[in-house]
């Protein structure tokens, strides 16, 4: 474990508020630089006991809860992100693995000077994983004023239309290289259960109420591309035989905002981070880590003066027809 954690990856590698307005750009964004480690969420493999019933870990500590030692990057404990860590009283485990998603996404007060007023109060950063069926569903709530992480929702998702043999092959191919296939098998639940738990979580944070029409309350999903909500979630809803929830009808594609704000193209998360000189944390294509990295791009853009508004939307009457705010888009 120690040797694998020391490896370092190279850095190369509703509605419509139609158009983001632009504010004067700020100069620098003083986030601490950090190394990108290939062993990202090997946290899961460190657990040697069975997961306990889900506990509440939704509310995240404030920056004052962190010590200076916390500046050292650590992989997230992927049992903890799902409320199932049984080792929170183990000092060695706590030393190795991060149990606070906000730790890597703190923004200093000085960097908030150029943040423009937003039409939304919260951003829900989402990055799904799984090409055949969804395997991972992570969401971070970012406050639009303070840019702080308010809460985290993270679930591994068990496919419903695949044989056990195919699931094992699928998961090993996807997560085996990260060393987190065991935590996936320990914690994954069907998509319809994930959505039910997600809706409870949204309601707890006053971001959604079914009786109010199903839309988010002054909040929007932020994705790196249109695939997650334009294509994959509707596909998975059909496979899981559930109705597409109303809160998935609109979203902000960060790549489109990036293109029209900076007037330069970035085809993906890694390109945006490289252009903005943001260090990549964790393992690319591990949903929890990618969500945090996308959140760091969002924070940087907000600090630089970007205003986030809806870039894509559909209507319940025509769910297959997606409209886009930008003509100049990726």
pLDDT in tens, 225-250: 999 999 999 999 999 999 999 999 99
CB atoms under 10 Å from CB of 17, counted, come to 20
Reply yes or no on whether 80 is catalytic: no
Q: What CA–CA distance (Å, rounded) separates 210 from 264?
A: 39
Q: Structural domain boundaries of the chain?
A: 2-38+109-162+187-324
Strands 250-253 and 189-190: unpaired
Per the DSSP assignment, residues forming a β-bridge with 62 are none
State in words which class domain 2-38+109-162+187-324 has.
alpha beta
- Residue 214: per-residue pLDDT: 85
The whole-angstrom distance between residue 37's C-alpha and the CA centroid of its chain comes to 18
Reply yes or no on whether 199 is catalytic: no
- Percent of the chain whose predicted confidence (pLDDT) is above 90: 72
Q: Which of 93, 99, 122, 129 is catalytic?
A: 129
Q: What CA–CA distance (Å, rounded) separates 182 from 43?
A: 10
pLDDT in tens, 57-92: 444 444 433 333 445 789 999 999 999 999 999 999
């Amino acid at each position: 474990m120690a040797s694998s954690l020391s490896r370092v990856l190279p850095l190369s590698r509703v509605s419509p508020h139609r158009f983001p307005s632009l504010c004067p750009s700020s100069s620098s964004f003083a986030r601490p630089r950090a190394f990108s480690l290939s062993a990202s969420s090997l946290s899961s493999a460190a657990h040697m006991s069975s997961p306990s019933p889900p506990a509440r870990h939704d509310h995240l500590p404030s920056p004052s809860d962190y010590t200076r030692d916390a500046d050292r990057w650590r992989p997230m404990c992927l049992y903890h992100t799902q409320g199932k860590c049984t080792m929170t009283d183990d000092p060695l485990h706590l030393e190795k693995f991060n149990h606070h998603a906000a730790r890597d996404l703190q923004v200093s007060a000085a960097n908030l000077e150029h943040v423009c007023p937003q039409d939304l109060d919260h951003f829900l950063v989402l990055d799904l994983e799984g090409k055949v069926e969804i395997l991972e569903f992570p969401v971070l709530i970012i406050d639009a004023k303070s840019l702080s992480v308010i809460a985290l929702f993270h679930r591994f998702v068990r496919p419903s239309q695949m044989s056990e043999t195919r699931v094992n092959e699928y998961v090993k191919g996807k997560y085996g290289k990260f060393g987190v296939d065991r935590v996936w098998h320990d914690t994954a639940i069907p998509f319809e259960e994930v959505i039910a738990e997600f809706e409870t979580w949204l309601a707890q944070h006053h971001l959604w109420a079914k009786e109010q029409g199903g839309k988010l309350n002054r909040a929007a999903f932020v994705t790196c591309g249109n695939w997650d909500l334009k294509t994959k979630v509707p596909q998975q809803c059909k496979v899981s035989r559930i109705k597409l929830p109303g809160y998935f009808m609109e979203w902000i594609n960060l790549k489109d905002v990036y293109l029209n704000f900076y007037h330069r193209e970035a085809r993906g998360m890694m390109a945006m981070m490289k252009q903005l000189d943001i260090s990549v944390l964790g393992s690319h294509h591990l949903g929890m880590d990618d969500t945090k990295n996308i959140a760091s791009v969002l924070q940087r853009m907000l600090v630089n003066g970007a205003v986030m508004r809806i870039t894509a939307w559909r209507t319940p009457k025509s769910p297959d027809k997606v409209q886009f705010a930008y003509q100049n888009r990726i």
